[in-house]
Chains A and B, each alone.
Chain A
C-alpha cells in the first residue's frame, strides 16, 4: 500500500490537525506504571547480563581503560551544587577501582570491581515512574503554558478570550491511529529526530495527547542537572544517558538496560541521531548501538515465547520554525567540521530567559510546531501494517521469526543482527527524510541560500559564509522567483512521497504571502531576525544561522550545484566545497 493511499484511508488528511480534544480514551495503565514493582528486578538483570557480557574479557585492561576515560571525563565535567553528590559518588567509586587495580589480582578480585562499576552505572541509569507525578506534570505543565499562551497571544483581546491552548500550537500529523493500535500489539520504540533540548518535553507531551500510555525514555544526563526538570524526569520513566561516558562497560550496561525494558513491553523513546543535529539537517547517520536493542529484545522475547514480543520502530519528525540552540549548534558544527563530539553543556536552552522567550514568541506569533508520526517499521526496517505484520514486497506478509532463524534455529547471531540493524538505520534515515514536514521558513532559508550560492559557485563553504553584507543581498523580485521555483520542485517531490509540505506551502496562491510568512518565522527566537526585507532587496543578517536552517532541506538533491559536482553525493555527506548535500 502506497503512502498516499494510506493517508486517504486515514481520517486525517495530511493537512489536518490531530483532533485533540480532551482525552476521551482512558488509557490502560501501561507497563511503565508497574515499573516501580519490577525496577529492582530489571536492574538486577541488567547487571547480571552486563557482567556475563564481559566474562571473556581481560578485566585488568577493561577496567583500566574505563578508569582512564572516566578520569578524563570527570576532569572535564562541570558540576553544580545539585549534581555534586553524583560527582562525589563517581569519584569515590573510581578511586576504589584505582586502588584495587594497583593491588595484585589475588588480593582484590577484578570481578568484584567490575560488578561494582556495573551496579553503579545501572543505578544511575535506572529511572522511576510515579503515576502521581505523571498526572501532575501532564496537567500542570500545559496549564502554565496556557497561561503564558493567553498572555502572549493577541487573541486575548477578542471577546472569546482565553480560548487558546498549548495543543492548538502543536500540529500532530501522520499515522496516529496505527500507532495507537500497534501500542496494544507490541512494544513501541519511538525514534524522533532531535534538534532541541525541548524535544524531550515536547515528545512526551505529544504522546500524552495521542492517548498513549507513558513511555520510558533515555534523556541526556545533562538534562538532569536542572533540579526541577530532574525531579519530573526521574519520576516519569526517564533513564539517563551520558554521552560523555564512552567506555565499553557503560555502553554495554546502557544497551542491556534498554533491551531489558523493551523486553518487559515498556514503550521507549530514544533519539537515534545520538544528540541534537548540529548542522540542522535531518539525521542521516544513526547510532546503531541503542537501535539494535530493539532487535535483541524481540529475539529474546520470542525465544522465551512471551506474548506481544514484537518491537515496532516508529519514526517521528519534529519541525520547528526556529530552534532555540541553533547558534551554539551550528557554531559547534562549523568550528570543528563535525569531528568533535562535545557540545558545550551550557547553551541557550539553559537560560531561563531564552526558554521563556521561545515560548512567548511561539504563542505571540501564531507560530506552531509540527510533529509527524511516521509509518511504523519492524526491527528490520520493513513496514508493518496496523495489525503489526511485517509487510514485504508485493504486500506479502512476512514472519520475523523466519528472519531470525539461522541454520534452522531461532537464535541470536551477532553479525547477522548487526547487519539487520545497520539496514534499519539506513531505512530509518530515509524515512526521516520522507516523513519530514517542510515549513515556510525552511524553504525560505534554503531558497535564499541556494540562490545566493549560485552567484558564487567557486566559493567553498567557509569563504561563502563570510560574504559581506552587500554580497549577501539579493533583489527581492529575483528571490521571490527563485523561491517559487523551489516550491514547485518541492510539490513534485511531495507528490512522489519524498516529503510533506505544510498547509501554508501547499495551498499558497500568493508567492509573497508564504515567503513573507517564512521570513517572519525563520529563526524567530534569535536576538536578530535571520533575514530582512526592504522595499527592493532581501538580505541575511547571519550566514551561519541561515546555513543551519537551510540544511533542513539538505539530502533531497535539490541543490543544483550539488547535483553538478559529481557522484560522491550521498545525503549526509559534504560535497567537494564542504557544503552539506
Chain B
C-alpha cells in the first residue's frame, strides 16, 4: 500500500467548525474516506448534519456527504482517525486539547491552523498541543488562505510545516486539490510565528485604510512590518527565509489587503473611531491579532526587541489612542 492509498482510505477529524475549519473539511473530503468535524454547539451539529452547510460562518459552501459533525470529543475520534486538523481559536486550545487527549491513540498526526499564541507563556500552538496531547507528530497549516476565496474555488497555495516529514507528507496528500497547492517545509517555529505576527500588521493595515490612506503608506507598513516580524521571529528561533515565503510575506499581503480579514476589520473600524469592545462583539468571531499584539509587545519590550509598529498597534487597541496620533508618533520617531 502506498502512502497515498493509506491516506485516501483514512478517516480524518477536524476540530473546530469556523469558516476555515469548514473549508478545510471541504478540501479534505476530496482526499479521504470520511471527515468528522467537531462543533461546540449541539444545535449547529444538528443543522449541519441535516444540510451539510455551516450556515453561521460560511453559508454558501455545500459540503460532501462524507463530512459529518458531532459535538462530542469521544465520537469525533471513535474507531480511530489517522489525522486531526485543529482549527480552534488560540484561547481555547489548551482546554480543548485536554478534552480530546483521552480519546487519542498516539498514532494520529496533528495539523493545526490556528494563527495565535498562548498569552503569558508565549507558547506556540504546536507546543501546547505537544504538551496536552499524547503525540508528538504535530505540524501547522498556514499561508495566504482567506477561507471565502478558497471556498469559491479560486486558486491558492498553503504551507504545511512540521519537524516530522511524515506529517508534512500527509498534509500534502490530504489537502492538495485541483486549485489548491501545498508546499512543505521544516521550519515549524517560523511558520507559526509568521502566521501569528502578521495579524498585528493586519490591524495596522486596516487602520491605515480606515484613515483613508493609499498604497504608499501600506507598502511602507508591509515592508517595515516584515522587518519587525523577522526580528522577532528569529529571536524566537525561526529562520529568515520562512518570512520570505508563502507563510510570511504571502500571508501578510493577503491579510493586509483584504477587507475580509477579521483583524483588518478591527483596525479599520478602530481608525474610524469605534470602540474595541463593540467591534469585537459585532464581529462574532475571534480576531486573534488583538490578544497577540498585547502579548508580543509586552514580551518584546521586556527584552529590548525593537518593534515600533507593534507598539503603535498596542497603543491603538489597548490604550485607546486614536489611529491618527499613533501614526504621527510613529513617523516622528523614525
Contacts and interface: CB of A to CB of B under 8 A. Distances in A.
A353 interface: no
Interface in B124-182: 131-137, 163-166
Interface string A431-444: 00000000000000
Interface stretch (B99-107, B189-197, B212-220, B247-255): B99-107
B136 A380 contact: yes
A416 B165 contact: yes
Contacts of A415: 164-166
A25 interface: no
A460 B132 CA distance: 42
B6 A566 contact: no
B305 A567 contact: yes
Given A403-B106, A567-B303, A396 B6 contact: no
A568 interface: yes
Contact of B304 (A392, A399, A423, A566): A566
A135 to B, nearest CB: 44
A493 B52 CA distance: 54
Interface string B1-31: 1010011000000000000000000000000
B132 A393 contact: yes
A392 B304 CA distance: 37
A402 interface: yes
A429 to B, nearest CB: 16
Contacts of B105: 399, 402
Interface in B57-114: 82, 98, 101-102, 105-107
A336 interface: no
B283 interface: no
Given A380-B136, A567-B235, A392 B166 contact: no
Interface residues on A, range: 20 to 34
B98 A416 contact: no
A407 to B, nearest CB: 4
A393 B131 contact: yes
Interface in A537-581: 566-568
A393 B137 CA distance: 15
Chain B, interface size category, equals: 20 to 34
A406 B101 CA distance: 19
Interface string A461-472: 000000000000
A88 interface: no
Contacts of A392: 101, 134
A60 interface: no
Contacts of A567: 235, 303-305
Contacts of A413: 166
Residue of B98, B101, B106, B133 ringed by the most chain A CB atoms within 10 A: B106
Nearest to A381: B136
Contacts of A380: 136
Contact of A402 (B107, B163, B303): B107
A407 B6 contact: yes
A326 B33 CA distance: 63
B107 A419 contact: no
Contacts of B98: 393-394
Nearest to A413: B166
A423 B134 contact: no
A288 B174 CA distance: 32
Contacts of A399: 105-106
A336 B106 CA distance: 45
A408 interface: yes
Nearest to B304: A566
Contacts of B106: 398-399, 402-403, 405
B6 A408 contact: yes
Contacts of B166: 406-407, 413, 415-416
Contact of B136 (A406, A420, A568): A420
A403 B235 contact: no
Interface in A11-31: none
A403 B166 CA distance: 13
A422 B134 CA distance: 17
B107 A566 contact: no
Interface string A160-191: 00000000000000000000000000000000
B82, B107, B163, most chain A CB atoms within 10 A: B107
Q: Which of A406, A407, A408, A566 has the most CB of B within 10 A?
A: A407
Nearest to B134: A392
A422 B163 CA distance: 10
Interface in B208-241: 235
B133 to A, nearest CB: 7
A419 B164 contact: yes
A403 B303 contact: no
Contacts of B6: 407-408
B126 to A, nearest CB: 12
Contacts of A405: 106-107
Closest 5 CB pairs of A and B: A402-B106, A392-B134, A405-B107, A402-B107, A415-B165
13 contacts: A380-B136, A393-B133, A394-B98, A402-B105, A402-B106, A403-B136, A406-B107, A406-B166, A407-B3, A416-B137, A416-B165, A419-B164, A423-B136
Interface of B: 1, 3, 6-7, 82, 98, 101-102, 105-107, 131-137, 163-166, 235, 303-305
Given A402-B106, A407-B7, A407-B166, 4 more contacts: A394-B102, A403-B136, A416-B137, A567-B304
